Amino acid sequence: MRKSKFLVFSGSAHPKLGESICHYLNMDIGKVYFGRFPDGEIDIKVNSDVRGADVFVVQSVCPPVNENLMELLILIDCLKRASAERITAVIPYYGYARKDRKDEGRVPITAKLVADLLTTAGTNRVLTLDLHADQIQGFFDIPVDHLLARAIFIPYLNNMQIKKLSVVSPDIGSVKQASAYAKRLGAELAVTSKKRDFNTGQIVSMNVLGDVADKNVVIVDDMISTAGTIAEAARLVKAKGALDIYLCATHAVLCKDAVEQLRNCPAKEIIVSNSIPVPLEKLLPNMTVLSLGPYLGEAIRRINNSESVSYLFEHPVESCIMPQKEQM
Amino acid sequence: MRKSKFLVFSGSAHPKLGESICHYLNMDIGKVYFGRFPDGEIDIKVNSDVRGADVFVVQSVCPPVNENLMELLILIDCLKRASAERITAVIPYYGYARKDRKDEGRVPITAKLVADLLTTAGTNRVLTLDLHADQIQGFFDIPVDHLLARAIFIPYLNNMQIKKLSVVSPDIGSVKQASAYAKRLGAELAVTSKKRDFNTGQIVSMNVLGDVADKNVVIVDDMISTAGTIAEAARLVKAKGALDIYLCATHAVLCKDAVEQLRNCPAKEIIVSNSIPVPLEKLLPNMTVLSLGPYLGEAIRRINNSESVSYLFEHPVESCIMPQKEQM
Amino acid sequence: MRKSKFLVFSGSAHPKLGESICHYLNMDIGKVYFGRFPDGEIDIKVNSDVRGADVFVVQSVCPPVNENLMELLILIDCLKRASAERITAVIPYYGYARKDRKDEGRVPITAKLVADLLTTAGTNRVLTLDLHADQIQGFFDIPVDHLLARAIFIPYLNNMQIKKLSVVSPDIGSVKQASAYAKRLGAELAVTSKKRDFNTGQIVSMNVLGDVADKNVVIVDDMISTAGTIAEAARLVKAKGALDIYLCATHAVLCKDAVEQLRNCPAKEIIVSNSIPVPLEKLLPNMTVLSLGPYLGEAIRRINNSESVSYLFEHPVESCIMPQKEQM
Amino acid sequence: MRKSKFLVFSGSAHPKLGESICHYLNMDIGKVYFGRFPDGEIDIKVNSDVRGADVFVVQSVCPPVNENLMELLILIDCLKRASAERITAVIPYYGYARKDRKDEGRVPITAKLVADLLTTAGTNRVLTLDLHADQIQGFFDIPVDHLLARAIFIPYLNNMQIKKLSVVSPDIGSVKQASAYAKRLGAELAVTSKKRDFNTGQIVSMNVLGDVADKNVVIVDDMISTAGTIAEAARLVKAKGALDIYLCATHAVLCKDAVEQLRNCPAKEIIVSNSIPVPLEKLLPNMTVLSLGPYLGEAIRRINNSESVSYLFEHPVESCIMPQKEQM
Amino acid sequence: MRKSKFLVFSGSAHPKLGESICHYLNMDIGKVYFGRFPDGEIDIKVNSDVRGADVFVVQSVCPPVNENLMELLILIDCLKRASAERITAVIPYYGYARKDRKDEGRVPITAKLVADLLTTAGTNRVLTLDLHADQIQGFFDIPVDHLLARAIFIPYLNNMQIKKLSVVSPDIGSVKQASAYAKRLGAELAVTSKKRDFNTGQIVSMNVLGDVADKNVVIVDDMISTAGTIAEAARLVKAKGALDIYLCATHAVLCKDAVEQLRNCPAKEIIVSNSIPVPLEKLLPNMTVLSLGPYLGEAIRRINNSESVSYLFEHPVESCIMPQKEQM
Amino acid sequence: MRKSKFLVFSGSAHPKLGESICHYLNMDIGKVYFGRFPDGEIDIKVNSDVRGADVFVVQSVCPPVNENLMELLILIDCLKRASAERITAVIPYYGYARKDRKDEGRVPITAKLVADLLTTAGTNRVLTLDLHADQIQGFFDIPVDHLLARAIFIPYLNNMQIKKLSVVSPDIGSVKQASAYAKRLGAELAVTSKKRDFNTGQIVSMNVLGDVADKNVVIVDDMISTAGTIAEAARLVKAKGALDIYLCATHAVLCKDAVEQLRNCPAKEIIVSNSIPVPLEKLLPNMTVLSLGPYLGEAIRRINNSESVSYLFEHPVESCIMPQKEQM
């Protein structure tokens, strides 16, 4: 079905990503006014006509998480009431994704709550990237397209032609993703593991399961938050005899003293995506930011055009596979 | 139906109001841990057993509005999944209430969105106070008990035995509430009104409809936000010959230079409630903060006990009508 | 998106308005059989093929209110089951709109109930006019286009070039609408106000806030029901020295002895719309009925065509601004 | 679970039935004000405190059908918002029941719409009687208790000790109910059947399938509307040699010239229930109205008390089986 | 509205019917992999691109009923998540249709449950055939197109030019359908009826209401399950002097010893549809299987094309009325 | 809140587990008739009075998966319509749990579909055990209590006082659960890992990450389906020098040649729960089946009684920790 209008809006969390997507799509970004009332309430007015349009809203739910989430919800309510035909929430970084289960009694499942809030506000479909757990797709009853940043990370890594490569998961929870990288890179797999005393919770020993001695190592995680775990893993594999060490993570949350941690760890290169904006002051000299603009843009084009998106998971189109440092 | 357990929780927006409610109810406040993950995501764990309980969550959606709202939603999700029998959101100040209609094209109706988000999260009923528009009750399909702060403001004003009293609405939109006060105080009614040029939007003239000369005046509004309008109204009625001027508003949002505005306006006394916490540095010498604790507490007791709440609208129980300065 | 079929149906409340809309749109009205079973149950059969069509149903919920509302709900159920692609309820007069809040305990919010019933029956969007309270838009989660009859009343009044004009609200509740008229007409604003004894409810005094002496006066309300209030306001401003008096109201409910009241009040002209049919026997010589046909028709055309509707709020297209006496 | 409050309300369709139920239950009927606004809108205010109560609302959806249905919906909305714990709609006569399927294209299924409207308004469960089709129970997702008037009709008929009895269905659609009566009365079964020309729709011949000559005959239907069919059936079986003829129908709709039809047909006795009020002027000398009060009252008592209701289908308690002429 | 993609899928219950539909539509059937995990869980993967497509899923809920129903639900979930624009469940045989009401206490209404499960899984509309009760249409809030197999059975029977024809319903419950056949065939109507002792449940006598002696008889039912009732009816009318006997039923469930029953009963011809696959070993020499392929195919074409479907009820297009023995 | 009635029902998947639960609770199991119609449709009638009761339905969704799931759904529909106050689905083994995400395009998320079907049928809460992924809890908006079989497995293993213990995950996906066991047993952690060629999918090498030589090994998984992976892991750790090998898995699906695989692998003991019935012919001499009866029974008692369930996760009550061979 041909839609007569096709619009991409960006929330205020990461306007440059929205622009980069629109640049790929060769279109202007949708006009929307973001303001604040004196008491901090969000004020929104859409200035493009969206009636009957196929609308995409790009917003990462990155810090300040609650502000960005509420802005996204209000913008969607606004578009729904302005009679948009279909609203796709494009969420490169899905905040609260780690609260995806009750690991103890009387805690929320905030990732599910976020899914329900999005649906209530009027979202018709979701496009997202590297969810902390794949099962979050199932939190929605609306269609979800789940892109995988490895579609652009793998070609970037392959391009470096690293020999004797081992992919390391920095903890037990991330081993599946590391395994997927290892398989695609033809590399060995290893895991760093902490052993804690069950009663005190203190770390008794740290260990590496698998071979890293005399190997070049890529440590892979879905996100770098405080960078504590990944930096520790880097030091540990170094101590176990690793050669060059690369850190690789989709989402650069970089909170608390993350930059300090990364600066001081024995990593040759730190590769992240721009799912979250990386401000200049956090951009270390050995940090590479791969732009998601063309990859997300191509996915949006295909959704609007009712073409297959799953094709993109492993076969990014030409324009996507050329990774690029984000222009600051 | 007798409920075996009855619990009141407070969000972190205004813990002292929660305590004051529990003091009235002669019970301990529910235990809940509020934390933040390093990236600012809200972390919540309820430490009281709520299974099968009748639970009330007190949270004003005051600044920081989005943080307080998200905290409320996550806490409700948490209580729902912890098997609370019934969850009542007690919202003394309902944020985003002024976005209750589309006054122009392509804007959201955020007050309705908030209602829908609350219901989606698992709220079973709502207790709130002095909504900006009464119609917001109808935004919910769950029962709403809507208290009126005038139940404690009117006795306080009556107690002062002010003669020759005129109640003034500081703008057209608040005239209904002013009229309700006038009726109950046996006072005259007046309105201050701005005339704007339709094309430029500039104020052409200011006027008072009704009589204020040689009157003691109570200017009544539902909230004081930047205090611009109410301070201007005070100056205007002063210029028109008013005697003593009292400002009276339920919700003390007090943002931007509100305190400066109030300090400089010709008001003898400023009377607000503690629906929103008033920090010490904003507490002017001529400001009286009436505590809602007993009034809300009595309403909660009645809801838990299935007794009539509408009785409270005009007949507050003894313990409520004694207004008190909030203890700082 | 181009819809292949586009149909307008009219309920039996006001067939001439439906015809007038279709005349503007230059199309035939949809065929539907309305009958009654012997026991008074409504019988409906749609005789036009609506499968996959963009369908508009014009029905004012005017007296007999319950009959007209049920007919609308049944017709929408019928169109939904007949596979209409999209159903827009066009409700020029939204009945039960005054029950939009709980002004006391244990009363319904019938205006919200009506919104929920419409959604349940299968309505996809709503087009309505001069709701008693703007907030009723928020009672819906489906898109609502809310037209303002002043888009055709203001040009009509401007055309009369009345000098020294004051706009009067006949009671406190209608002052916002009067204010909007005053702003657009460059006129003064005044309010008539009753003072009642709080305990007995009896009117103690009547007053006019604002200036009407030696002014031409337009008294503006959203509807004329029994005409008691507006006629009283007319007499009062006359007594206060007003010159020519015009009554202006969107919805001519005209129940009980409204016609007698209007006949006997000192109004030079009474201007209403045909949102509700005005039967010949109620049409006073000094009554002007402005037709909504072109205005609603243009809005329907734009909705079907996915063009902006908010533009119409203040800039009616040429064909709409020429007000016309309804042809009886 | 013990409910602390238990209330029965009656709509205005048939107040005497509500009273008769409350008389059986030995309780006062709930207080509710029914009024009309000047324009005919329904005005309702509940005057009993219903917070936390188990509430039953008795309302037959009999003519005027739409008025009675809307009143029921508004009353339920009102009770929901007044915080009733559970609301059971008691609908002795379910209007629109005959529109329970699409027998041709582009017609509504109004009986389903009514079910959805009831649920939307806030009904938690339904108690009804002799639905036109049993499948209407499945229109609801809330629990439905479906009573069968034959629980009081069969004992009444048995008491008459009629010999040589044949039960006759007056048309093809009612044969299942007639069969249930025949089985319980140990009687023969017969059907009167019209043969129509398929193209013209005209009746070509009338016939009786089964034996009625020299039999006493009970003609059974679920309702008497215009009485055309049942009167014709009476004349036909008379012509075929029937002895005494009894007409038996649960719902006495009695519209158009039903009374005339019944007066002129060869029936010895006409037995109906008071699911619909039978006004004095329609009460023929040979008409017996069996009161449903005790039967419905006992069902309500059991629902409130969480006792089995299905037991009542075939084993009415002592107090129910004594049929009684309704007191006029 | 033109849909750009149009796809028909078949579940594994009856692949030949899907093929026959696609043959009529001159298109390839959609590609889908059906497998089983080792523990019997259903594994599905759709191999055609369905994004934005108008999709039809053909699946009869015939034995093994639960397997076929679950497969249908999972396939619909799969298509929904793969972003199909619209999903129509084409259910020639709707299983569990006989559990359409609570005929006693504490039983399910499984036919309603099935309707709710279909909607929950993501079905947007339903196309079905000869439901056991017409009211099942009302179990859905989504549009249902309900085809009637008599549209192809009546022309087939007319073609045989049978004289002195009587249509017989094999029991009380099926008399409406028999009546519809009789009307269209210009035939007499009769019913076979069992009289049971109410207390023991044993058959006391069997009888035929209406005339069958010296008549050619068509016994009509909606389905043949164990064939016990229809075979008994055949023997009974034979005993009452019937000439040629034809059995006519839409759904050939044929379970238990149905084939043996049919083989031994005095039927000249047994006419069924292929709504359920009839395996070769059940195909008696005197059994005719009329193909629904063209009839369903035409309905699907019209739904996709937004043309009227109700037209098909009595006026099958040329290509449908030529009944054909299914090719084995 | 005291519930007056409390009932536990069992589906037909595993009646002995239901009995064992009721034995712990010292109550009779609820009466329900399970039958089949001749065509295989499920027939259910509840014979205990459930009106107003707190009802638990025990049913593992084990093979035959679809039959057991449909039976559960129909039983819940039946209980809902019979007016049960609250229905808890007790699902010791949650079938389809492995389809919890879209690991490729155009596949269903059947585990979410199952959650939605359960909710649609009328489930009010869920009690389940060792979900394949914790995130499945978030598929529900109703409360889920998620028990962990390790609460009874860990005491059983501790009781054996095995020295030099290593816990091994048989593949990457199960490493989190193995890690939880290792932590609680104070053991080392290891993982067996397959390396596959990315293009051909063939296993290139098998490896053990971590130390197993000269260790006693417990291989832990959530379920044993075909037993291929776990048996292979056993052989591999044996080859790497492991001493005694124990297999430990909650759910004994045991399909295909699982028993043969287990018989031939070098395991000293195989420990499973009775979440799924283990028939005698599959019960190997070295297999221990720990009964979940007391553990589930205690959880049910606490839910009915509104006591904390999370306490049970790590502190099973006395009666639960004594593991027992299931009595055959």
Q: How far is CA D230 from CA B259, D151, D170, D224, D285, in A?
A: 82, 22, 6, 7, 18
> Would you say residue C327 lies in a domain?
no
Q: Does A201 touch chain F (CB under 8 A)?
A: no
Distance from CA of D188 to the nearest CA of C (A): 32
In a domain, F245, yes or no: yes
Does the pLDDT of residue F2 top 50, yes or no?
Answer: no
Q: Residue D204: is it exposed, middle or buried by C-beta count within 10 angstroms (0-12/13-18/19+)?
A: exposed
For residue C161, the number of C-alpha atoms closer than 13 Å in the C-beta half-sphere is: 0
Task: Examine the pLDDT at E201 and tell me if it is beyond 80.
Answer: no
pTM above 0.90, yes or no: yes
Query: Is residue A316 very low, low, confident or very high in pLDDT (cuts 50, 70, 90)?
Result: low
Same domain, F141 and F38: yes
Residue F210 belongs to some domain of the structure: yes
**What's the CA gap between A243 and A213, in Å, rounded?**
8
Instruction: Indicate if F93 and F107 belong to the same structural domain.
Output: yes
Tell me if B138 is assigned to some domain: yes
Torsion on CA atoms C11, C15, C20, C24, rounded to nearest 10: 30
For residue B146, the chain C residues in CB contact (below 8 A) are 102
Q: What percent of chain E has pLDDT over 70?
A: 94
- b/e map of B82-91 (b: 16 or more CB within 10 Å)? bbbbbbbbbb
**pLDDT value of residue C162:** 96
Instruction: From the candidates E194, E240, E256, E268, give the one annotated as an active-site residue.
Output: E194
Q: Answer yes or no: do B223 and B203 share one domain.
A: yes
Per-chain mean pLDDT for chain F:
92
More confident residue, C326 or E143: E143
Enter the tokens of residue D302: 């059991």
Q: In this model, does residue A70 exceed pLDDT 90?
A: yes
DSSP E strands, B21-117: 32-36, 42-46, 54-58, 86-91
Q: What angle do CA C215, C220, C221 make, to 5 degrees?
A: 155
Contacting residues for E71 by C-beta, under 8 A, at least 6 apart: E11, E12, E13, E34, E42, E44, E59
Rounded to an integer, the average pLDDT of B173-202 is 87
CB distance A198 to A214 below 8 Å: no
- The tokens describing A153, both together, are 């990370």
Is E327 a member of any domain?
Answer: no
What pLDDT band is residue B318 in, cutting at 50, 70 and 90?
low
Q: What is the rounded distance in angstroms from the CA atom of residue F305 to the CA atom of residue F307? A: 6
User: Which residues of chain A lie closer than 8 angstroms to E82, CB-CB?
Assistant: 143
Residue with tokens 């469930």: E253
pLDDT 10s digits, B52-67:
999 999 999 999 999 9
Chain F: partners with 3+ C-beta pairs within 8 Å: A, B, D, E
- Distance CA(F213)–CA(A209), nearest Å, equals 14
Question: Which pLDDT score is estimated for B2?
Answer: 44
CA A141 – CA E121 distance, rounded (Å): 9
| Contact residues, chain C, for E141 at CB < 8 Å | 122
Chains D and F touch (3+ CB pairs under 8 A): yes
DSSP reduced 3-state for D187: coil
E12, E140: one domain = yes
pLDDT band at A319 (very low <50, low <70, confident <90, very high): low
E174 vs D195 pLDDT, higher one: E174
Mean pLDDT of B264-271: 96
Which amino acid, E217? V
CATH number at residue D101: 3.40.50.2020
Residues D290 and D249: beta-carbon distance below 8 Å: no
Q: Taking 50 as the threshold, does the pLDDT of residue E295 lie above it?
A: yes
- Rounded to whole angstroms, the Cα distance separating E229 from C88 reads 50
Do A97 and F301 form a contact (C-beta atoms < 8 A)? Answer: no
Testing the interface with B: which of F140, F306, F307, F308 to mutate, by most B Cβ within 10 A? F306
User: Is residue A328 included in any domain, yes or no?
Assistant: no
Interface of B with F in 69-88 (CB under 8 A): 80-83, 85
Distance CA D313, CA D301 (A): 15
Dihedral pair phi/psi, residue F91, rounded to 5°: -120, 85
- Show the CA angle centred on residue D188, arms to residues D184 and D190, nearest 5°: 115
Which residues, given as ranges, of chain D have pLDDT below 50? 1-2, 321-324, 326-328
Q: What is the ipTM of this complex?
A: 0.94
Does one domain contain both E65 and E200?
no
For residues C225 and C258, the answer to whether their CB atoms sit within 8 Å is yes
Asked if residue C285 has pLDDT above 60, the reply is yes
> Strands (DSSP E) along chain E, which ranges?
6-10, 32-36, 42-46, 54-58, 86-91, 125-129, 144-147, 165-169, 188-196, 203-209, 216-224, 245-252, 269-273, 287-290
Total tally of structural domains belonging to chain D? 2
Cα–Cα distance between D62 and D225 in angstroms, integer? Answer: 11
- Identity of residue D247: L
In this structure, of A57-66, D38-47, E53-62, E314-323, the range with the lowest mean pLDDT score is E314-323
CB pairs under 8 A between B and F: 30
Give F309's contacts in chain B (Cβ within 8 Å). 51
Residue of B nearest to A83 (CA): B106
Number of CB pairs < 8 Å for E and F? 134
Residues E263 and E173 in one domain: yes
State the amino acid at position B8 in one-letter form: V
Task: List the 240-299 stretch of D: residues with Cβ below 8 A of F.
Answer: none
Please state which of the ranges B249-258, C147-156, D188-197, E235-244 shows the lowest mean pLDDT: D188-197
Whether F53 sits inside 8 A of D2 (CB atoms) is no
Domain assignment present for residue C158? The answer is yes
| A106 reaches F (C-beta below 8 A) | yes
Inter-chain residue contact A78 with B108, CB threshold 8 Å:
yes
According to the model, what pLDDT value does residue A321 have?
46
A93 and A174 part of one domain: no
Whether C164 and C65 map to the same domain: the answer is no
- Whole-number Cα distances in Å, B231 to B164, F159, F199: 21, 77, 75
| Mean pLDDT for all residues in chain A | 92
Local structure of residue D274 (DSSP, 8 states): S
For residues A144 and A209, state if they share a domain.
no
The stretch F191-205 carries a mean pLDDT of 79
The predicted model gives E126-150 an average pLDDT of: 96
User: How near does any CA of chain B get to the CA of A45, in Å?
Assistant: 5
What would the pLDDT profile of B65-119 be if each residue is shown by its tens digit?
999 999 999 999 999 999 999 999 999 999 999 999 998 889 999 999 999 999 9
What would the two tokens of residue F180 be?
Answer: 């939880």
Ramachandran quadrant class, C146 (left: phi over 0; alpha: psi -120 to 50; beta: rest): beta
Spell out which residues of chain C touch residue A2, defining contact as CB-CB under 8 Å. Answer: 1-2
E186 touching D, CB under 8 A?
yes
DSSP state of F4: S
Chain B positions touching C141 (Cβ under 8 A) are 112, 116
Angle, helices F65-81 vs E110-121, to 10°: value is: 110
Touch between chain E and chain A (3+ CB pairs, < 8 Å)?
yes
Residue E1's pLDDT band (cuts 50, 70, 90): very low
Residue C306 in contact with partner chain E when CB distance is under 8 A = no
Q: Looking at the structure, do residues C309 and C258 belong to the same domain, yes or no?
A: no
| Mutation for E interface: C5, C51, C85, C306, most E CBs within 10 A | C51
For residue D171, what is the nearest residue in chain E, using CA coordinates?
A: E176
Which residue, chain included where needed, has tokens 């080792």? E38
pLDDT score at F263? 97
Helices vs. strands in chain B: H and E counts, helices first: 10, 14
Q: Is it the case that residue C229 has pLDDT exceeding 60?
A: yes
Query: Is residue E259 located within the same domain as residue E277?
Result: yes
Distance CA B91, CA B291 (A): 15
Average pLDDT value for residue range B269-285: 95
Question: Is residue A206 left, alpha or beta, with left meaning phi > 0 and alpha meaning psi from -120 to 50?
Answer: beta
Tell which phi-psi region holds residue D97, choosing left (phi > 0), alpha (psi between -120 and 50) or beta: alpha
Q: Please identify which of the residues A5, A99, A194, A238 carries the catalytic annotation.
A: A194
Largest CA distance in chain A: 63
What residues of chain E lie within 8 A of the CB of F99, using their CB? 41
What average pLDDT does this structure show over B269-289? 95
pLDDT of residue A214: 96
DSSP string, D74-132: HHHHHHHHTT-SEEEEEESS-TTTT--S-SSTT---HHHHHHHHHHHHT--EEEEES-S
Catalytic residue check, A80: no
Say how many CA atoms lie within 13 Å of E238 toward its Cβ: 15
HSE (CB half, 13 Å, CA atoms) of D55?
Answer: 31
- Cα angle A116, A118, A124 (rounded to 5 degrees) comes to 110
Are D80 and D168 in the same domain?
Answer: no
Residue F168 host element (H or E): strand F165-169
D234 backbone dihedrals φ, ψ, rounded to 5°: -60, -45
C111-149 burial code (b ≥16 CB/10 A, e <16): bbbbbbbbbbbbbbbbbbbbbbbbbbbbbbbbbbbbbbb
E250-278 residue pLDDT tens: 999 999 999 999 999 999 999 999 999 99
Task: Reduce the DSSP state of residue F137 to 3 states and report it.
Answer: helix
Is there a domain that residue F19 lies in?
yes
Residue range B206-227: mean pLDDT, rounded: 94
Contact A306/C at CB under 8 A: no
Residue F324: pLDDT above 70? no
Range of the domain at E283: 150-289
Least confident of C142-146, E114-118, E199-203: E199-203
Whether the predicted pLDDT of C226 surpasses 90: yes
Strand partners, F218: F167, F246
Residue C210 near residue C244 (C-beta atoms within 8 A): no
Q: Does C328 touch chain A (CB under 8 A)?
A: no
Per-chain mean pLDDT for chain C: 92
Question: According to DSSP H, which parts of chain D are helical?
Answer: 15-25, 65-81, 110-121, 150-160, 175-185, 228-239, 258-264, 293-304, 311-314, 318-321
